[in-house]
Structure 1
Amino acid sequence: MDWGNVPGWVAAVGTIGTLTLTVRVAWNQVRDRRQEQEDRRAAQARLVTAWVDDVRRGKGFTATVKVKNSSDQAVYGLRVSLAVGVRGQYVAGQSALGPGASAEIEFKLAGYPRGELEAPGIAFTDAGGLQWIRLATGELRHPSGSDLDEHFSEHPGSFERIEARNAVIKRLWEQDDHA
C-alpha cells in the first residue's frame, strides 16, 4: 500500500486546519461587530422607559403612566399601551419626547383594575430613525410585522366593543361631575 508523500499529507491537513480556523475567527469577528453595532443602535432606546405611577379614583378611574427619556436626543411617535385585564388595553401617545424629558400620560379606565397592572409597553422612533418597542416584560427590540397591531392597539377587554367600554368611562366621569 502506497500512502504517497507523508509530508505532503501533513501539509494538506495543516492547510485545511489553518483555513478552517481562519474562517471561524473571521466569522466570530463579523458576529461581534454586528453585536457592537446593534448595541450602539440600541444605546438611546435603552434609556427610554415607562412605568405605572398611580391608579386612583377621583373623577372616574385614572391610571397615570410616567415615561422618561434619559437620553440626550429626542424620540418621536411615542405610543404607550396599558393592559388592564378584563377592562381592556388602552393606548395613548404623543408626537415627541425631548432629551432628558418626562411625560405623564393619563388613562381613563372603565373601572378600578381587579389586580396589579403590568408595566406599560412603549413604542417609539429614535433619533436615528429606528423603530423600537419595549414590552411589558422589559424586552427591547425592533418591532416585527404584527407587534404594533398586537401590543399597541386598543382592545375592549370583556366589553363587546371599544365604544361600549368608552361609554362606561364617560358615564363614570359624568357621575363624578354630578356627585
Structure 2
Amino acid sequence: MIRTTNGIGSFPDRMIPMVKGTMLLFAAMVPGGCVGPGGAATAPSEPNNQAIKLLLLDADGEDQRYALYKWRADGRFFYGGGREAHEGETPIELTFPEDVRRTLTKVIEDIGWLAVDFTPPASSSGPRLLEVDLRLKGVRRKFEIKADGRTFDRGTAELLEALQAIAAQRFKGVLDGLPQADRPAG
C-alpha cells in the first residue's frame, strides 16, 4: 500500500494498475498529439497539393493597421483584420465565386507576380508593406513589397482593391439592415 504524505489516507493497491494505465494512455497521446473532432490540422496529402493559393498580409505597423487575405486551394476565401490579421488568423469566410477567382487570378497575372522573371520591387521607405505567399499556376514564391509611403504601384493597388472588395462582403447584411434616409426604420 502507498501512503499519502499527510498520513490521513492510503492509496489502495487496486488503484495502482488503473493509474499506470492512465499514465500509459497519456504518454501515448503526448507524442502523437491529442486532437478532437474538427481539430485536425489540414496538411496536404501530397507535396504538389498546395493548401494555400494566396496568403497576403497588408501591414502598416506605424498605424497598427493589418489585413490578412487567404485564398485556399479548395477555393475558399478567408479574411482577418486588425489584431487577428497581425496574429495570422483569418476567422471570416467569405463568398468567393468562380468568376471572382478568375478575375483575381488575372489581376495577379497582369501585375507580373506569376512571371518567370518576376522580382519584387526595390524596397521603399514607407511603413506599409505586403507580405505575400503565392502558390498559383505552378508558381510558388514568397516576397515582401514595401510601399512608397503608404501607396503601392498601380497594379498592386488594383490587387488590393480587389481583395478589399471581396473582404467588404462581411458588411453586406449589416449595412443592408441600417435605416436609410429615404426609408423609415422598420
Same topology, TM > 0.5: no
Point out which structure has higher relative CO (alpha carbons under 8 A, 6+ apart).
1
TM-score normalised over the length of structure 1? 0.29
Normalised to the residue count of structure 2, the TM-score between the two structures is 0.28
